[in-house]
């Protein structure tokens, strides 16, 4: 089955063609970073306007790049849950129109479910059940994946998302937006043990994370030097901050896997592209005989191939939506499989 | 040519079908917060009640706004994708022009007004009726009613969804007999009529490029620009 995926939940306008939930024929992503950079974050109204301008071109490009025409499309999958309401709405309006005009099934997908499937697209061999950590600029969520489309939440963040902490520290250090890649680069030249930043909730029994206090601790520790024009050891700060975040994410996810009795961990989302996170996860996993999987780099950040793959799985389980599909900006992943 | 018209810039999903100059259907589905949820079902029901299928439609008219920013994006995206999927042409119509068109039989200067939401701001434009339909005779205006009143030097027919609200204020600002009001909402059939005329003369828009007529920048961008201007003003 050829599924056209559409994703517009934040600031990427994306469309993709995926065959049988496995083969990515095209994966087009129009990035809006240049529009949002000067604001230090995503501006919802600007994002929604850009999606409206781009959506047709991106869908057309996905078909062209995949060597297919509209009449080849057998279903349309779209991110309808979790994201900026004005942004989600553009993708859903386009998807509904395609479904209506082409007379093909429509399926709404939860954005996080898309990320879970990004890793399954890259690594179809990931065994079930497994534990999945989704870490991005907007999300930090730990779930037990019992089966495709069946999730149980284990934990999440109580304040900032992990990627949000990267963005805020990068902004503080003047590294620009988005902060993840900038900190990753800078950290390779720094000493991870230069500063002993807090490891929030590391010892807590729950699987919840908190990154807001870590961010504040770092800002408070250096803001006077920064204001006084002192030259700060940026590389060491970046490396030590990244180490604190990575240590907490890895320790809690590994413990969740042990306690759930699974032998595989899937790490997805934009932060899963972070090199140090991959390194520590893989090394720690190896020591405990738990295999850790990461998506291809092209599928870490928001994309529509993962939405098409998730949509395909949902359709196979009979979770199709009708033309009254609406957007839900904020809804837990685990309650959505009821369709 | 059968043309389907859509305007979602106001409080309703306005959907109409025309055959050239003849109106076949004109519905305004009150939506509140369900414009997106209802839009395809509304279009399907309007077509179905007229025993039409999407394949019978020869072109599409889309109300571009100004109006509710979120609302317009729904209509524009749906209209654009309908045209893309069917390979039929599309024409975007200013919602102000569609309102003014409803007063095309008036001899007075026509002033179309749309509420801009914040701080008593309005979107407006002036039109004049001629032998070839109506013609826009002013730039688009974004501002308050007193500012609009200064632009108007003669008796007008005011067209708006909540015309009575503007009538009393404008009546005081101008001489009271200088203003008459026509209360009407953005309509699907009107958008379709205006689009049909243009599509029949080959004036279609670039389908994939179809974009809303916001008339105002986003608040964040306006904020940054204000600071830029201030920074430039400081020597």
pLDDT tens, position by position, B87-108: 999 999 999 999 999 999 999 9
**Does residue A122 belong to any structural domain of this protein?**
no
Asked if residue A196 and residue A250 are part of one domain, the reply reads: yes
Domain edge (last residue) among B183, B207, B229: B183
State pTM to two decimals.
0.94
The mean per-residue pLDDT over the stretch B77-94 comes to 98
Q: What is the pLDDT at residue B231?
A: 59
Asked if residue A105 and residue A72 are part of one domain, the reply reads: yes
Asked if residue A179 and residue A269 are part of one domain, the reply reads: yes
Q: Measure the CA–CA gap between B96 and B111, rounded to whole angstroms.
A: 9
pLDDT at B235 over 50: no
Residue B78 and residue A93: Cβ atoms within 8 Å? yes
Asked if residue A289 and residue A314 are part of one domain, the reply reads: no
Chain B residues touching residue A323 (CB < 8 angstroms): 40-41, 44
**Does residue A120 belong to any structural domain of this protein?**
no
- Using DSSP's 3-state secondary structure scheme, residue A22 falls into coil
* Local structure of residue A230 (DSSP, 8 states): P
CATH of the domain at B116: 3.30.420.40
Interface check for B140 against chain A (CB to CB < 8 A): the answer is no
Contacts of A13 (CB under 8 A, 6+ apart): A29, A30, A32, A50, A51, A54, A55, A58, A90, A91
Nearest chain B alpha carbon to A85: B70
β-pairing, A291-293 with A140-147?
unpaired
Chain B residues touching residue A39 (CB < 8 angstroms): 220, 224
Residue B179, domain extent: 96-183
Asked if residue B84 and residue B16 are part of one domain, the reply reads: yes
pLDDT in tens, B116-164: 987 789 999 999 998 888 999 999 999 999 999 999 988 999 999 989 8
Q: What kind and span of H or E run contains A291?
A: strand A291-293
**What is chain B written as a DSSP string?**
-EEEEEE-SSSEEEEEEEETTEEEEEEEEE-TT-HHHHHHHHHHHHHHHTT--GGG--EEEEE--SS-HHHHHHHHHHHHHHHHHHT--EEEE-HHHHHHHTTTT--SEEEEEEE-SSTT-EEEEEEEEETTEEEE-S--EEE-HHHHHHH--S-EEEEETTHHHHHHHHHHHS-GGGEEEEE----HHHHHHHHHHHHHTT----GGG------S--HHHHHHHHHHHHHHH--
Residue B81 and residue A97: Cβ atoms within 8 Å? yes
Cα distance from B111 to chain A (closest Cα, Å)? 28
Q: What is the pLDDT at residue A178?
A: 84
User: What count of residues does chain B have?
Assistant: 235
**Does residue B226 belong to any structural domain of this protein?**
no
Asked if residue A111 and residue A135 are part of one domain, the reply reads: no
Query: What are the CA-CA distances from residue A149 to residues A128, A131, A296 (Å)?
Result: 11, 13, 21
pLDDT in tens, B27-53: 999 987 899 999 999 999 999 999 999
**Does residue B231 belong to any structural domain of this protein?**
no
> Contacts from A224-232 at CB under 8 Å and sequence distance 24+?
A226/A172, A232/A173
In A, what residues contact B, Cβ < 8 A? 38-39, 43, 45-46, 48-49, 51-53, 55-57, 59-60, 70, 85-86, 89-90, 92-94, 96-102, 323-327
| Dihedral angle over CA of B211, A33, A279, A132, nearest 10 | -30
ipTM attached to this prediction: 0.93
H helical segments located in chain A: 33-36, 44-65, 85-102, 111-122, 162-172, 179-187, 212-227, 234-260, 275-287, 305-316
Q: What is the pLDDT at residue A338?
A: 43
Structure tokens at A204: 């807590």
Q: What is the pLDDT at residue A192?
A: 96
Give backbone dihedrals phi and psi of A309, rounded to 5 degrees, phi first.
-65, -45
Asked if residue B193 and residue B88 are part of one domain, the reply reads: yes
Instruction: Give me the tens of pLDDT residue by residue for chain A, a chain 339 residues long.
Output: 999 999 999 999 999 999 999 999 999 999 888 888 877 778 899 999 999 999 999 999 999 999 999 999 999 999 999 999 999 999 999 999 999 999 999 999 999 999 999 999 999 999 999 999 999 988 999 999 999 999 999 999 999 999 999 999 999 998 888 889 999 999 999 999 999 999 999 989 999 999 999 999 999 999 898 888 888 899 999 999 999 999 999 999 999 999 999 999 999 999 999 999 999 999 999 999 999 999 999 999 999 999 999 999 999 999 999 999 999 999 988 765 444
Contacts of A289 (CB under 8 A, 6+ apart): A263
Domain edge (last residue) among B138, B161, B183: B183
* Number of domains present in the structure of chain A: 2
* Number of domains present in the structure of chain B: 2
Residue A314, domain extent: 2-115+301-336
């Amino acid at each position: 089955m050829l599924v056209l995926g559409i994703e517009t939940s934040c600031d990427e306008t994306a469309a993709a063609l995926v065959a049988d939930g496995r083969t990515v024929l095209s994966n087009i992503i129009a990035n809006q970073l240049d529009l949002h950079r000067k604001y230090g974050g995503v501006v919802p109204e600007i994002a929604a306007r850009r999606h409206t301008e781009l959506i047709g071109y991106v869908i057309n490009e996905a078909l062209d790049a995949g060597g297919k025409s509209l009449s080849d499309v057998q279903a349309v999958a779209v991110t309808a849950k979790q994201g900026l309401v004005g942004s989600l709405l553009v993708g859903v309006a386009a998807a509904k129109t395609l479904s209506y005009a082409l007379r093909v099934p429509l399926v709404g997908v939860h954005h996080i479910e898309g990320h879970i499937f990004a890793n399954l697209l890259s690594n179809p061999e990931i065994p079930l059940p497994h534990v999945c950590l989704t870490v991005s600029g907007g999300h930090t969520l730990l779930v037990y994946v019992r089966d495709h489309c069946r999730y149980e939440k284990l934990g999440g963040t109580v304040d900032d998302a992990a990627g949000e902490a990267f963005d805020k520290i990068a902004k503080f250090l003047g590294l620009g937006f988005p902060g993840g890649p900038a900190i990753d680069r800078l950290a390779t030249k720094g000493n991870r043990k230069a500063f002993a930043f807090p490891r929030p909730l590391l010892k807590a029994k729950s699987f919840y994370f908190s990154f807001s206090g870590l961010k504040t601790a770092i800002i408070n520790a250096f803001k006077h030097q920064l204001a006084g024009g002192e030259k700060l050891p940026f590389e060491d700060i970046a490396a030590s901050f990244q180490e604190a975040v990575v240590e907490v994410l890895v320790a809690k996810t590994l413990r969740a896997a042990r306690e759930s009795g699974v032998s595989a961990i899937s790490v997805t989302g934009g932060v899963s592209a972070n090199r140090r996170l991959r390194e520590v996860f893989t090394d720690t996993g190896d020591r405990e005989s738990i295999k850790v999987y990461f998506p291809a780099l092209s599928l870490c950040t928001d994309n529509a191939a993962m939405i098409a793959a998730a949509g395909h799985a949902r359709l196979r389980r009979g979770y199709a939506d009708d033309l009254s599909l609406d957007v839900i900006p904020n809804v837990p992943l685990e309650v959505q499989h009821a369709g | 040519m059968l043309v389907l018209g859509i305007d979602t810039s106001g409080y309703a999903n306005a959907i109409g079908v025309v055959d050239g100059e003849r109106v076949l259907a004109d519905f305004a589905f009150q939506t509140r917060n369900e414009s997106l949820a209802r839009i395809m079902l509304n279009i399907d029901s309007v077509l179905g009640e007229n025993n039409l299928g999407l394949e019978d439609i020869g072109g599409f008219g889309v109300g571009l706004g100004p109006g509710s920013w979120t609302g317009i994006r729904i209509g524009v995206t749906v209209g654009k994708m309908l045209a893309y999927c069917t390979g039929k042409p599309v024409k975007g119509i200013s919602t102000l022009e569609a309102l003014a068109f409803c007063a095309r039989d008036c001899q007075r200067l026509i002033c179309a007004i749309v509420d801009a939401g914040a701080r008593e701001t309005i979107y407006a434009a002036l039109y004049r009726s001629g032998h070839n339909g109506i013609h826009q005779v002013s730039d688009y205006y974004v501002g308050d009613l007193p500012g609009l009143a200064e632009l108007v030097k003669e008796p007008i027919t005011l067209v708006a969804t909540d015309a009575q609200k503007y009538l009393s204020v404008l009546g005081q600002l101008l001489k009271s007999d200088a203003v008459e009001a026509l209360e009407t909402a953005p309509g699907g059939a009107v958008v379709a009529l205006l689009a049909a005329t243009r599509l029949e003369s080959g004036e279609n828009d670039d389908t994939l490029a179809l974009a809303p007529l916001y008339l105002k920048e986003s608040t964040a961008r306006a904020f940054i620009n204000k600071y830029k201007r201030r920074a430039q003003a400081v020597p």
